[in-house]
Amino acid sequence: MGIKVVCASVIGKSNNPLYIRCFDSTEEALKFHYIVHSALDVVEEKSTAKKGASLDLYLGMLYPTEDYRVYGYTTNSKIKFIIVVQEDGDSHDQAIKNFFRKFHVLYANTVANPFYTPDDLITSRKFNEELEKQVKTV
């Protein structure tokens, strides 16, 4: 009802992808990789646009494509979360904000693993499973 997250990604400090996961088996993953990559430019724009004033972590909608909308969320450690959603009708901003918050907490828990080095690709099984659960309950 309303929103369906079709792709979630975590991008590192130097805009290197740490994690990209697509939840829509009908579309080719490459298409989402491309969408996420283009979204990074918008993120840069939004981050540098506001001078001085503290920027809200949630960046809002980055740009719309024909079927999807792309949302972004950044952290002070320059880690970016980008999701591609399929929405019908009104934007469910609050639900998306909540999703990002939980996504952020999930990321923090994964980083807390002493065997994970920050800026590595995220291969944690727990991360995958939890993210799946959250995507289902958006």
Binding site for another protein (CB under 8 A): 109-110, 112-116, 124-126
Distance, in Å, from the CA atom of 133 to the CA atom of 127, rounded to the nearest integer, reads: 10
Q: Helices 125-136 and 93-111, interaxial angle, to 10°?
A: 170
Residue 44 or 120 having the CB closest to another protein: 120
CB of 132 to another protein, least distance (A): 16
CB of 38 to another protein, least distance (A): 32
Residue 44 or 129 having the CB closest to another protein: 129
CB of 126 to another protein, least distance (A): 6
Residue 15 or 113 having the CB closest to another protein: 113
- Residue 56 carries which DSSP code? P
Nearest alpha-carbon partner for 6 in 103, 87, 80, 66: 87
Cβ(63)–Cβ(39) under 8 Å? yes
